[in-house]
Amino acid sequence: NDVLDLSKIEAGRMELHVETVDAAAVVRRVVDTSGPLASAGGNALTVEGLDQLGAIQSDALKLQQVLLNLVGNACKFTSNGRVHLACARQRGDEGDRLVVAVKDTGIGMTPEQVSRLFTQFMQADSSATRQYGGTGLGLAISQRLCRLMGGDITVESRFGQGSTFIVDLPAVAPGASGVAAGDPSAPRPAERAA
């Protein structure tokens, strides 16, 4: 699936399905889905800021895919620690932004490892493939999906002290049909079935 997703993105065939999205509901689904993985590693999975997110105009499934990948990685590379999602809606001159920081207390990375992170088929360390598995495509796809939605992913990490991945997206994605999404207190849409 990762290879197919990447080939679609690179061929320009990955489309956004922009709709009114209850951002907090998406984050809650990610936390609920990731709970067993966090528990298996002895990690506490916590979240804050859901009450300020409100409705956005974006692609719910792609947002969920990105966050699931980041939280899954955080749980995988953390043992008996903490994975925390800090969510915020930030106001700016060019409109509101949805910011979700996924912070862990895991193994962390060196600056050199960080520089290779978003390269497809690359993992921070070749030994990570043997120890943790994976294709090395998840972060490359997540970054491309965020850019497709008009935003990006950045990372801050210190070796041995954990990592923080920050998803920063416009509250109104490119291609949205002009529906305002500036008021987080606006009525929230019904939560879609997972």
Q: Give pLDDT tens digits for 28-39.
A: 999 999 999 999
Please determine, for residue 186, whether its predicted confidence score (pLDDT) is greater than 50: no
Which is more confident, 180 or 119? Answer: 119
Give yes or no for a contact between 66 and 30, defined as CB atoms under 8 angstroms apart: no
Average pLDDT, the chain: 81
Are residues 83 and 156 in contact, defined by beta-carbon separation less than 8 angstroms?
no
Give 13's pLDDT tier (boundaries 50, 70, 90).
low
Res 161 pLDDT > 90: yes
**Residue pair 55/181 in contact by the 8 Å Cβ criterion:** yes
pLDDT at 114 over 90: no
Which segment, 9-23, 49-63, 166-180, is predicted with the most confidence on average? 49-63
User: Tell me: the pLDDT tens digits for 55-103?
Assistant: 999 999 999 999 999 999 999 999 999 999 999 999 988 899 999 999 9
Which tokens in the block code for residue 181? Answer: 């999404």
Beta bridge partners of 101: 86, 166
For residue 154, is pLDDT > 80? yes
> What number is the average pLDDT over the span 3-18?
61
Q: For 169-178, what is the mean pLDDT?
A: 83
Task: Average the pLDDT over 125-151 and give the result.
Answer: 69
Q: How far is CA 104 from CA 19, 35, 158, 175, in A?
A: 31, 14, 11, 33
Are the beta carbons of 59 and 17 closer than 8 angstroms?
yes
